[in-house]
Amino acid sequence: MEKPIVLVIMDGVGKGDGGSGDAVAVAKTPTLDHLLATCPHTYLKAHGTAVGLPTDDDMGNSEVGHNALGCGQIYSQGAKLVGESIENGTLYASETWKDLIANAVSGKALHFLGLLSDGNVHSNIHHLIAMLREAHAEGVKKAYCHILLDGRDVPATSALEYVDMLEKVLAELNTEGCDYAIASGGGRMQITMDRYEANWPMVEQGWRTHVQAIGRRFPSAKAAIETYRAETGCIDQDLPAFVIERSGEPVAKIANGDSVILFNFRGDRAQEISLAFDRKDFDHFDRGDYTGVKFAGMLQYDGDLKIPQHYLVQPPVIKHTLTEVLCAAGIHEYALSETQKYGHVTYFWNGNRSGKVENLEVYEEVPSDVIPFEKAPAMKSKEITEKMVENMASKKFQFLRCNFPNGDMVGHTGVFDAVVYAMECVDKSVAAIVEAADKYGYTVLITADHGNADQMTETKKGKTSVRTAHSLNPVPFIIYDPDHTWVIKDGHYGLANVAPTIVKMMGLTAPDCWEDSMV
């Protein structure tokens, strides 16, 4: 190894069209502009088949992006993994599915909880529909859907399209003696889908809505959405919780002993609600008279921590990660981010495993503020930068990685000026890290896991609207090393080519199963 390496991941920062909706281009980013003008660089595919998703229409996300960055390989992921399991029937052949269905057939209700969209980032409505049809075919009489509205991985106000699609299927399944219906719901950023234990009250509100049917009542999900939109002007992800009622009573509560399936496949925003259902010793909020249900996740969201205990689809077993290779070579590593992306540079980076591979690693988390990100778009970029520079100065580590969440987390709010400011904060952080690299002798690699801030608007049928979802744009890969002339070979590259490049630059040998190095 000629020089130790620092990897900077600018979460949610892709290469946009440079227009007025491209916050990356609009922002004043003198450091990134200079690096792109003077350093070896290329652009990486960060979505679709490059990260193991079914098609190139599928947006990348932070989970699969960091998996690919950290393992140098492409694994079937998320929607593709679940879709294959549904198509070949292995999901329905699993002992978990059989157990939950048998429980429902015996007289208990079957509940489906998850994000209602086809964004393919956390869930897919078609998976839900397939399971509803199969449950009906296997004799389940009572099935209820607790829907979380998206507007983040899909158009910001598209919820009614998905509700209508689901309602048509439920009506079809309401044959004699059957009750298939929507029971509760709310925006994904208001209830249930917190991550990294940043906001347990958000999970608690979801619990009270889905399990206890506590919340404002409406005759239908459509009525709830239309009413809230008129009253609040919120996009789907921010709509308040609602409970559906009939004849003055809730359609369904999740009762003790029922069967419950969380049909999200992505792990980060599924773990906390899973713990609330799954753990007898749960103590983050009072669950009232809850004694337990038969609960399963679509996947096991954390294999080491067994979250949840039961699941429908076996997750990809990601082996031969970059961390394993570096630990085997005796390389000391440092990983850092704030809470919102801490799991991405640790758990996802290491192939969906908790804990460290070896004691050669040090992980550090900067607690995120529980505040709307558009209100504080700098997030913890300053604190992350200070810690990175401090650890670079220590000379303790030969490979350091950090994630700046700003481009993604602020990008998801849809507040353009805040995203521009967020990008300017990230640029200043990159400048400080590059300055420290010159002072202490490091090579700096700069990339991202997917796009977001680079496409803040979209135009359909002549109408331009705010975009809150990830983009399909490629992401930069920049090599800053004034002491070495690195040449990026011609080729078409994706996120999985980053780990092989790091290993090549370190003078190590990559596993045969990895993608090619770019240098």
The catalytic residues are 62
Say how many C-beta atoms besides its own lie within 10 A of residue 288's C-beta: 11
**Under 8 Å between Cβ of 410 and 342:** no
User: What backbone phi and psi angles, to 5 degrees, belong to 116?
Assistant: -95, 90
Q: Which of 160, 127, 117, 119 is nearest to 261 (CA)?
A: 127
- Please name every residue paired with 445 in a beta bridge, in sequence order, or none if there are none: 7, 479
- Residue 451: DSSP 8-state: B
User: What backbone phi and psi angles, to 5 degrees, belong to 114?
Assistant: 170, 180
Q: Helix (H, G, I), strand (E, B), or coil: what is residue 446?
A: strand
218 vs 222: CA distance, rounded Å: 9
Say whether the peptide bond before residue 377 is cis (omega within 30 degrees of 0).
no
- Residue 428: DSSP 8-state: H
Q: Tell me the Cα Rg of the chain.
A: 23
Q: Which of 507, 516, 510 is nearest to 484 (CA)?
A: 507
- Residue 441 token pair: 């002798």
| Burial call 53-86: b when 16+ CB within 10 Å, e when fewer | bbeeebbbbbbbbbbbbbbbbbbebbbbbbbebb
165 vs 373: CA distance, rounded Å: 32
Q: Helix (H, G, I), strand (E, B), or coil: what is residue 463?
A: strand
121 vs 123: CA distance, rounded Å: 6
- Beta strand 259-262 with 294-299 is parallel
- Beta strand 475-480 with 443-447 is antiparallel
Q: Which of 96, 184, 108 is nearest to 139 (CA)?
A: 108
